[in-house]
Amino acid sequence: MDFTYSDEQQMLRDSVDRFGAERWNPAKRVRLLESGDAAQRWREMAELGWLMLPIAEADGGLGGGAIEVMAVAEGFGRHLIVDPWVTSCVLVPALLAGGGDAAGAVLAAIAAGEAKAAAGLIEPHMGYDIAEVALRAEQGPDGWRLTGEKLHVEDGADADWFVVSARTAGTPGERDGIGLFLLPRDAAGLTVERFRAVDHHRHARLRLDGVTGATAVGPVDHALPVIEAAVDRAIAAHLAEAVGSMEAATAATLDHLRTRQQFGVAIGTFQVLQHRMVDMTIACEEARAMAAYATLHLDAAPAERIRAVAAGKTRVGDCGLHVGQEAIQLHGGVGFSDELIVSHHFKRQLMLDQAHGPRHHHRNRFAAAA
Amino acid sequence: MNLSFDAADLAFRDEVREFFRDGIPENWRLRVQAGLRLDPAELIEYQRRLHARGWAAPTWPKEYGGTGWTPTQQYIFWSEASEAGAPPQFHQGLELIGPIIFTYGNAAQKERYLPGILTCDDWWCQGYSEPGAGSDLAALRTRAVRDGDDYVVNGQKMWTSYAHVASHVFLLARTSLEEKRQQGISLILAPMDTPGFRVAKIPTMDEKYHTNELFLDDARIPTANLVGEEGKGWGYGKVLLDRERMVTASTAIFLKQTVWAVREAARARRVGTRALIDTPDFAAQLAQFEIEVIALQTMVLRLITDAAGGVDSGPRGSMVKLRWSSLYQRGMLLWLEALGPEMAHFCAEDDATLPPDMPAVMQGMLYSRVTSIYGGSSEIQHNIVARRALGL
Ligand SMILES: Cc1cc2nc3c(=O)[nH]c(=O)nc-3n(C[C@H](O)[C@H](O)[C@H](O)COP(=O)(O)OP(=O)(O)OC[C@H]3O[C@@H](n4cnc5c(N)ncnc54)[C@H](O)[C@@H]3O)c2cc1C
């Protein structure tokens, strides 16, 4: 057994840290978020090789595995990098892998930093159950026609391509009869509504009104297992991101307890705060263990993988929200300001917990997979 | 023991209910339920309506323009306001400095300042905290040095909420350097347009503008604006902080609004073929929240009955503040979770439409984090209960 990164993985981790320290300095964060030089950053990430890292070699990538993804995602969390790496470079490639020429071309573009893609899997009234697909795909004279709505496309606001799940047969909730389709942002009949979240990620809602020009990817009618496995990969990356963010928030808080003086002493001398700080540290330990646990089960048999990822998502969600809240509380008033990094960590934890289903959803998923 | 009201109370309740029946604009509702303060203009309008009805100051004695209501009447008033979707009144003039002025101020100060608080012609902000003095307020460093008939004030205040709206500030400043830090602190009133005052916005994580830094640079404030005795301001401040906790007790009555809001939101949202409220998970969480809100309401009722009977409630105000802030935080998180994936849709671009309760729920949820920090943090409240109730 081994819980350590290899030398190469460690180098990858260090490279994200260097990038984070240079490009995502907490003191400059608010200004950075307003400046919007995302395109430039994305190019830099392409040059560093991160964009192609998780993409299969056959699709023009480096074929990095789950641990490499973990090493990078952790750094994204530690420095709160908002660029849609997990979505575009982990989730979408897992959905598109082996999906034919059109899919391969999009993956090559992603790997080269020339395109971003996002996955539309969640619909209104779905909860977070990705089998509840109602959006219809029908064969017509000019190919597939897609009609319906995707309520929330994680990181979808600036995507050039969308991969959406659609029902080719059956009724919502059935596992069979779900296909995956690739469509360009400017597809006829597609409306993209854009939103910014509190963590400054940018999302979309899609309305598809007889969209044509979509390409079927992979096994039409039987895509659900592929989708589930891909989402689990994205979740595992998010867990690593959550751990990085928790550890950074915890470190900032420890620093604050050592330096902030009240009543003539550093507030870290108050036992009540020491114990709270200890609990935050334990939460980080636990979350790191659970993120590894989930990641190391990504290639296990589906039932085992689902339980591991669902367990990880549940525990890391709890720990992450706890740490985010405590980091603010122990900072006092400044924790609530936009200038300090801790409130940004809290907001990211909130959104990470929500992405692909919050704690309670995955607790149920864990129970159901027994 | 008895939980019911007598006939006079019931008649009073009907009167209050009547007032609120169509007094609250619909567009206030969401923000009020989310625990957000309304815009200053709206709060001023609300205060003016109350004033016109003679209800500007529910907790003040009659001689200063208050209602002279019994604690039971106050409870009824707040309950009805809560029920009607009305906000709590803006409290910094009304509950923080007003009572200090009528208790410790001189005749001229009472005459000058009290009416403006009731009508909301004056808006007060509280200049207590400083960068180095938060929980440890006695560490404040702002200096007020006598020069003829003026104090010359230098220093920096922090977290001065609504300083950008306020016409006046009440501030604590050091008028002499004593051994004991609490001595030599004075309470001074000043108009916000005093030369030498500068207000700078503090951006906060909820993306709403409510608080500021206040810089005081050779600001001349007439010594006539000193409240009570020089160097005794700390004592008044403590009375004031106690009151701030009691204000929180009244705010606790408004927590019912969060219960209703969460329920409404969960009814409106569907998961598969069911309403979210009918899913066992969510139903159980909401039930638990509501039960704890009932428990807190009943604690508040006890507190109010004691106040009516002249019993010192000791640190029970602190207990209420602790429970209130944690419940409010939990309720807002529950409401946010009811939004489902759309909780990520905080701010829309293009022609996108936000979910009906955004961004109020998210802002309210983020704002809720501060309720365990301001007005004496939860840790400080625990210390108070340990010391005052348990003698530890
Ligand atoms: C949005 C907002 C609005 C505000 N509005 C106003 C206003 O209008 N006017 C005004 O004067 N002030 C205002 N405040 C200031 C508020 O009262 C202070 O933030 C609060 O008193 C905490 O002080 P601090 O921020 O300096 O935190 P600190 O005192 O530095 O506390 C940091 C942490 O240490 C803990 N701690 C401190 N001392 C102890 C101890 N002895 N034992 C155990 N734990 C301890 C605290 O609980 C906290 O967790 C506002 C604050 C905020 C955030």
pLDDT digits (tens, 9 = 90+) for B209-240: 999 999 999 999 999 999 999 999 998 876 66
B249 vs B85, higher pLDDT: B85
Mean predicted lDDT score pLDDT of chain A = 96
Using a CB-CB cut-off of 8 Å, the residues of chain A touching B352 are 193-195, 205
Tell me the whole-structure pTM to 2 decimals: 0.97
Same domain, B221 and B246: no
Same domain, B206 and B322: no
- Report the pLDDT value the prediction gives residue B246, as an integer from 0 to 100: 60
The protein residue whose alpha carbon is closest to atom 4 in ligand 1 is B159
For A118-221, CATH gives 2.40.110.10
- Report the pLDDT value the prediction gives residue B182, as an integer from 0 to 100: 85
Percentage of the residues of chain A whose pLDDT score is greater than 70? 100
Domain that holds residue B48: 7-95
Please indicate whether residue B244 is annotated as part of the active site: yes
Interface contact flag, B344 A325, Cβ < 8 Å: no
In a domain, B112, yes or no: no
Residue recorded with tokens 């709160």: A80
Same domain, B67 and B185: no
Mean pLDDT value across residues B10-24: 92
Which 292-321 residues of chain B touch chain A by CB within 8 A? none
Same domain, B313 and B215: no
In a domain, B117, yes or no: no
Give me the catalytic one of B244, B292, B337, B349: B244
Q: How many CB atoms lie within 10 A of CB A315?
A: 22
Look at residues A162, A176, A94, A182 and name the one whose alpha carbon lies nearest to residue A133: A176
Q: How many CB atoms lie within 10 A of CB A202?
A: 22
Q: How confident is the model at residue B24 (pLDDT cuts 50, 70, 90)?
A: confident
Mutate to test the interface with A, among B281, B379, B392 (most CBs of A within 10 A): B379
Q: Is the dihedral of CA A280, A281, A282, A286 positive or negative?
A: positive
Residue recorded with tokens 């230098």: B154
**What is the rounded distance in angstroms from the CA atom of residue B12 to the CA atom of residue A178?**
62
- Which tens digit of pLDDT belongs to each residue from A67-78? 999 999 999 999
Structural domain count of chain B: 3
Cα angle B311-B316-B321, degrees, rounded to a multiple of 5: 140
Interface contact flag, A152 B344, Cβ < 8 Å: yes
Where residue B316 sits, what CATH number does that domain have?
A: 1.20.140.10
Cα angle A288-A291-A293, degrees, rounded to a multiple of 5: 105
Indicate if the pLDDT at residue B125 is higher than 90.
yes
Using a CB-CB cut-off of 8 Å, the residues of chain B touching A353 are none
Look at residues B105, B108, B131 and name the one whose alpha carbon lies nearest to residue B214: B131
Using a CB-CB cut-off of 8 Å, the residues of chain B touching A360 are 281, 337
Q: How confident is the model at residue A219 (pLDDT cuts 50, 70, 90)?
A: confident
Which 6-35 residues of chain A touch chain B by CB within 8 A? 30
The protein residue whose alpha carbon is closest to atom 17 in ligand 1 is B374
Q: Which CATH class is domain A7-115?
A: mainly alpha
Domain boundaries, chain A: 7-115, 118-221, 225-369
CB of A273 within 6 A of ligand 1: the answer is: yes
Where residue B207 sits, what CATH number does that domain have?
A: 2.40.110.10
**What is the rounded distance in angstroms from the CA atom of residue B89 to the CA atom of residue B38?**
10
Last residue of a domain, one of B95, B112, B136: B95
Cβ pair A309, A297 in contact under 8 A: yes
- Which tens digit of pLDDT belongs to each residue from A271-317? 999 999 999 999 999 999 999 999 999 999 999 999 999 999 999 99
In a domain, B385, yes or no: yes
Q: What is the DSSP code string of B60-121?
A: S-GGGT-----HHHHHHHHHHHHHTTPPPPPHIIIIIIHHHHHHH--HHHHHHHHHHHHHTS
- Report the pLDDT value the prediction gives residue B242, as an integer from 0 to 100: 60
Interface contact flag, B346 A197, Cβ < 8 Å: yes
Extended beta strands in chain B, E state: 124-127, 143-147, 150-157, 168-174, 185-191, 197-201, 212-222, 226-227, 270-271, 274-275, 347-348
Same domain, B222 and B244: no
Same domain, B132 and B151: yes
* SS3 at position A197: coil
Interface contact flag, A336 B382, Cβ < 8 Å: no
Same domain, B259 and B272: yes
For A225-369, CATH gives 1.20.140.10
Last residue of a domain, one of B230, B252, B285: B230
Interface contact flag, A172 B272, Cβ < 8 Å: yes
**CA closest to B275 among chain A residues:** A125
Indicate if the pLDDT at residue B245 is higher than 60.
no
- Which tens digit of pLDDT belongs to each residue from B91-111? 899 998 999 999 999 999 999
Q: Is B272 left (phi over 0), alpha (psi -120 to 50) or beta?
A: left
A331 CA closest ligand 1 atom index: 32
In a domain, B118, yes or no: no
Same domain, B77 and B181: no
Same domain, B138 and B283: no
In a domain, B106, yes or no: no
**What is the rounded distance in angstroms from the CA atom of residue A179 to the CA atom of residue B90?**
55
Same domain, B181 and B75: no
Minimum mean pLDDT range among A57-61, B156-160, B202-206: A57-61
Minimum mean pLDDT range among A9-18, A29-38, B239-248: B239-248
A327-to-A57, A254, A354 alpha-carbon distances in Å: 41, 9, 19
Same domain, B275 and B296: yes
Same domain, B284 and B221: no
Mutate to test the interface with B, among A185, A207, A262 (most CBs of B within 10 A): A262
